[in-house]
Amino acid sequence: MAAPFVDTARITVKAGKGGNGAVSFHREKYVAAGGPDGGDGGKGGSVILEVNPHMSTLMDFRYKRKYVAGNGMDGTGKRCSGKDGENMIIKVPKGTVVRDSETNEIICDMSETDKPFVLARGGNGGWGNKHFATPTRQVPNFAKAGLPGEEREVVLELKLLADVGLVGFPNVGKSTLLSVVSKAQPKIANYHFTTLFPNLGVVYVEEGVSFVLADIPGIIEGASEGAGLGHDFLRHVDRCRLLIHVVDVSGSEGRDPVEDFEAIQAELKEYSPELAARPMLVAGNKVDAAYDRTGLEALKAHVEKLGMPFFEISAAAQMGTRELMFAAARELEHLPPITVYEPTYVARPPQVDTSAPPEIHRADDGTWIVEGPWLERLMANVNFGDYESRNWFDRQLRQSGLFDRLEEMGIHDGDIVSLYNLEFEYQR
C-alpha cells in the first residue's frame, strides 16, 4: 500500500547546548603552582537539513515533530576541551521550502541536493579557567558556562520541482495524458478526484531533450479559497515554468468548455496573478468522444483570441499528444529555469540577549527581584564558594550599572536583593 502524500509539516528543532568550561589546576610532582589548566567546553551540535532525492513526501514528519541535536561535553583538566555535540541531520524531499512558523518568512529552499542548510546552530562552548589567569588573578576559580543552542519552530512545505504542470477540472484526462507521454503510472478511473496527490513523470521528447511533467489534482471553483483540494495542491504549480490547461471538449457531462477554461483561469489568478500570467498551452482533450465540434471550435476560437496555442488531443487514443509534448519542449527552451525561492527571513536576536539589562521589580514583601537572560548567564559562570570569584561577580554587576539603577529606584541599605537562587542584603 502506498504511503499517504503529505506536503506540509510543522516541526520544532533545538540545537545542542555548549559544554561548560572547566575549573582545574595543573597537578604535577615537584611543581608547586602549576596554574589553571581548565579546558573549554565542546560546541553544541547543530540541526542540519539535507536533501534526500529518494523522498517524495513529508510523511516522516507526521509522527516525529521535535528534533534535538546533542549537547557539547564539558571541558576537563589538562587543557582538554570537551567533545562537540552530535549534529542532528534531517532529510527532506527535494523542493522543500522552510518557513518561520511565526512570520511565514522563507528561511531556505531545499532544491539542491549538494547544499545542506544549518537550521539551528549549536551553542558555543564555555571557556575554561585557563583563559582567566592574569598577573593579579593567578588562581581563577571560575569558568564560563556554555551557551544554549538555537531553538525554533518551522513549517516545511513541499513544492514539487516540475517544468510543466497539467491543470484543469477533475476527470478531464490529466492523469491519462501523463501516463501516455511518460512512464508514470497514476491512478486512472472515470470519476472525479481519482488523483488525490500530484504525480510526476519524465517526458523524453527526443534524444537529449526531456522535461518533468506534473499531474496536479483537479481544481474546482473556489480552490483558491480552500474549496475542494484547495491550496493543498495549488502550491505545486508555483514552480512550474509552463502550464498545460487540459479541457474536456467531449460534452459528455454537459459542460461548456469555454466556461470551464475561464473558471480554472479565474482560480489560478485568484491564487496568484503571476501564476495565471505564466506561459500556457491549452489542450482540448477527448476529441474522439465529442458528440459534435461545437464546444471544441468555441474553445479553440476563444483561446486563440487570447494568444494561447491550442491543441486537439485524445490522451486515451494517443492522438495529438506527441505534437503537444514537442510544443511544450520548444516553449521551455525560451523560459527561465525552475524558481528557487530566495530567503526572506531576517535573523532575530539570539535567544539569550546579553545586551538587554536585567529586569527589576519589587515584591510585596519589599524584596528587590532582579532577573533576565544576561544575569542568568553571568551567574552560571560564578563559583559562589570562592572569594575571588564572588569579587569578580560583584565587579560585573557594578560595571553593568545594576546598582546605579537600584539606587535610582529607591533601594536602601539592608534591603534584600534576590538574584534567582542568591539573596543578599544591599550595602552601598
Q: Is the pLDDT of residue 194 over 60?
A: no
Q: Is 216 annotated as a binding residue?
A: yes
Helices (H) and strands (E) in the chain, counts: 9, 18
Q: Is 300 annotated as a binding residue?
A: no
Q: Is 193 annotated as a binding residue?
A: yes
Q: Is 195 annotated as a binding residue?
A: yes
Q: Is 175 annotated as a binding residue?
A: yes
Q: Is 288 annotated as a binding residue?
A: yes
| pLDDT, average across residues 126-147 | 83
Q: How many CA atoms lie within 13 A of 247 on its CB side?
A: 30
Q: Is 100 annotated as a binding residue?
A: no
> What is the Rg, in whole angstroms, of the alpha carbon atoms belonging to the chain?
32
Beta-carbon contacts of 371 under 8 Å, excluding residues fewer than 6 positions away, are 358, 359, 419, 420
Query: Where is mean pLDDT largest: 128-137, 181-190, 413-422?
Result: 413-422
Pairing of strands 47-51, 117-120: antiparallel
Q: Is 81 annotated as a binding residue?
A: no
Using CA atoms, how far apart are residues 89 and 341, in angstroms rounded to an integer? 22
Beta-carbon contacts of 230 under 8 Å, excluding residues fewer than 6 positions away, are 222, 223, 224
What are 19-66's pLDDT values in tens digits? 999 988 888 777 666 789 999 999 999 999 999 988 878 888 988 999
Cell of 87: 549534529
- What pLDDT sits at residue 171? 84
| pLDDT, average across residues 165-180 | 89
- DSSP lists the bridge partners of residue 251 as none
Of 167, 173, 164, the closest CA to residue 318 belongs to 173
Of 318, 321, 337, the closest CA to residue 281 belongs to 321
Per CATH, the number for 164-332 is 3.40.50.300
- What pLDDT sits at residue 349? 45
Percentage of the chain modeled with pLDDT above 90: 42
- DSSP lists the bridge partners of residue 204 as 210
| Check whether domain 359-425 has CATH 3.30.300.350, yes or no | yes
Q: Is the pLDDT of residue 373 over 60?
A: yes
Q: Is 197 annotated as a binding residue?
A: yes
Q: Is the pLDDT of residue 229 over 50?
A: no
Q: Is 117 annotated as a binding residue?
A: no
- What pLDDT sits at residue 134? 80
| pLDDT, average across residues 229-233 | 52
| pLDDT, average across residues 323-337 | 93
Q: Is 363 annotated as a binding residue?
A: no
Q: Is 53 annotated as a binding residue?
A: no
Q: Is the pLDDT of residue 338 over 80?
A: no
| pLDDT, average across residues 120-143 | 85
- What pLDDT sits at residue 354? 53
- The second-level CATH assignment, the architecture, of 1-158 is Distorted Sandwich (2.70)
Q: Is 218 annotated as a binding residue?
A: yes
Residue 197's pLDDT band, with cuts at 50, 70 and 90, is low
Q: Is 15 annotated as a binding residue?
A: no
- What pLDDT sits at residue 5? 59
Q: Are 167 and 233 in contact (CB under 8 A)?
A: no
| DSSP-H helix ranges across 249-382 | 257-271, 273-276, 294-305, 321-332, 373-380
- What pLDDT sits at residue 185? 65
Q: Is the pLDDT of residue 116 over 80?
A: yes
Q: Is 172 annotated as a binding residue?
A: yes
- What pLDDT sits at residue 351? 46
Q: Is 215 annotated as a binding residue?
A: yes
Angle at CA 365, nearest 5°, toward 359 and 370?
15
Percentage of the chain modeled with pLDDT above 70: 87
Q: Is 326 annotated as a binding residue?
A: no
Looking at every residue in the chain, the average pLDDT score rounds to 84
Residue 327's pLDDT band, with cuts at 50, 70 and 90, is very high
Q: Is 24 annotated as a binding residue?
A: no
Residue 188's pLDDT band, with cuts at 50, 70 and 90, is very low
Q: Is 71 annotated as a binding residue?
A: no
What are 234-292's pLDDT values in tens digits? 777 788 899 999 999 998 878 899 999 999 898 888 888 888 889 999 999 999 988 78
- What pLDDT sits at residue 158? 86
- Which is more confidently placed, 350 or 19? 19
Q: Is 315 annotated as a binding residue?
A: yes
Please report, for the chain, the start and end positions of each structural domain, with discontinuous segments joined by +: 1-158, 164-332, 359-425
Amino acid in position 232: D
Residue with cell 549534529: 87
Q: Are 58 and 9 in contact (CB under 8 A)?
A: yes
Using CA atoms, how far apart are residues 107 and 119, in angstroms rounded to an integer? 8
How much is the pTM? 0.70
Q: Is the pLDDT of residue 191 over 80?
A: no
What are 62-81's pLDDT values in tens digits? 889 999 999 999 999 988 99
Amino acid in position 335: L
Identical fold, 164-332 and 359-425? no
